[in-house]
Structure 1
Amino acid sequence: MPGYGVMPAAPRRSIGSALVAIVGAVVAAGLFVSVPADESGRVVEARPRADRAIEVRHVAGRQYLAAYRDIVGIWTICDGLTRDVRAGMVETPDGCLIRLERELVEHATRIRACTPQLFATGREQQLHAAISLSYNIGWPSFCASTAAHRFRAGQWAAGCDAFAMWKKAGRPLRVVPGLVNRRRREIRICKAGLP
């Protein structure tokens, strides 16, 4: 696919203090790992630091530094980012990390407003999964979703199960195997630790 480069193992970069302030270090580090894996197949290591930042290191896989059209034709860059992306755009690895954090902060902030129940102590796995789903489907869709309604009602397992509804894309809508697999991973994360 045009628009990607295979990057050697990169130096560690610190980022994420804004995201840590909203979701905590464990959820932030988890998102810096799971979103690139789900969006581009990229392997990333992320570790919380004492200064409330996240140490992130690209380990393997393609990093999409040049804009490309995704499966449904939307201009995309980095790890599934579509905001302000246009043909011919090229980003740096640091720029991709900054964009990723900005998007994750946006989604976390919107989810906090529409499903504050996810920010209760002990809901870190459900919060991680919800932000991952929101990143993929958009926060307006997440906030109006059956999953969000169930979370607001305290129906945690049922909320996690509702992620499976989001498996279609394109025009006309069709089931996308990659989305089916992503939803399965998100459901596993979401249900971790639930009775």
Structure 2
Amino acid sequence: MRVSKRVAAIAAAGALSVAAPVVMQFEGLRTTAYLDPIQIPTVCYGHTLTASMGQTKSVAECEQLLRDDMQQALTGLAACVEPELQPHEWAALVSWSYNVGAGAACGSTLMRKLNAGAAPGEWCPELRRWVYAGGQRLAGLVRRREAELQLCLGR
């Protein structure tokens, strides 16, 4: 299946609507740009691509950026995930990839295990390894990965 058709099928299955509350909870809404824990300009719900210090966005603009960024995370993942997944597994991966980037996600041990046919009980716990930013273990990432793990396992 081509990536664009696969992305549409995954989105239709509700993965993005399940992932959105997780992303929103852990990213939080900030309409004025700020520096994240590793000093990257960030705005809205963790948007970094076009963020710059001094920038402000409306809530509606932030919601659109969230939709666009989540779609981009899903598209990046769909290009490297080989097996069919359940919507809750996709949702967990989208939240994770939204945070770490599709390049990092696609090159990860988690992805190697997933694509090698491992069961979710083996590859989902790999999410727990992604709790560092700037070389430091961050409590917020620990909490986020635990929530993503529970979602990934369907709990």
TM-score w.r.t. the length of structure 2 is 0.89
| Residues 1:101 and 2:67 aligned together | yes
The answer to whether residue 24 in structure 2 is matched with residue 32 in structure 1 is no
- Conserved 8 A contact 1:168-1:179: yes
Cα distance between partner residues in 1 of 2:42 and 2:151: 26
d(CA) in 1 for partners of 2:43, 2:8: 24
The separation in 1 between residues aligned to 2:61 and 2:110, in whole angstroms, is: 32
Q: AA paired with 1:128?
A: A
RCO higher in structure (CA 8 A, sep ≥6): 2
Please state if 1:164 is matched with 2:128.
Answer: yes
Kindly provide the CA deviation profile for residues 39-74 of structure 1, in whole angstroms up to 9, marking residues without a partner as x: 11xxxxxxxxxxxxxxxxxxxxxx311101111111
Report the CA distance between 1:29 and its aligned residue: 1.4
What is the aligned length? 148
Question: Identity, % of aligned pairs?
Answer: 28
Q: Is the 8 A contact 2:91 2:151 kept in 1?
A: yes
Question: What CA distance in whole angstroms lies between the structure 2 residues aligned with 1:22 and 1:179?
Answer: 25
Instruction: Return the TM-score normalized by structure 1.
Output: 0.71
Match of 2:91 in 1: 128
In structure 2, the partner of 1:190 is 152
Whole-angstrom distance in 2 between the partners of 1:133 and 1:94: 23
* Larger of the two Rg values belongs to structure: 1
Equivalent-residue separation in structure 2 for 1:20 and 1:181 (angstroms): 30
Please give the alpha-carbon distance, in whole angstroms, between the structure 1 residues aligned to 2:8 and 2:90.
13
Distance in 1 of aligned mates of 2:73 and 2:15: 13
Contact 2:16 2:94 in 1 (8 A): no
Map 1:135-150 onto structure 2 (within 5 A).
135-150=98-113
Separation in 1, partners of 2:89, 2:114: 9
Q: Which has the higher helix share?
A: 2
Q: CA separation in 2, counterparts of 1:36 and 1:102?
A: 14
User: Larger strand proportion, structure 1 or 2?
Assistant: 1
Tell me by how many angstroms 1:151 deviates: 1.1
Taking the aligned partners of 2:89 and 2:110, their CA distance within structure 1 comes to 10
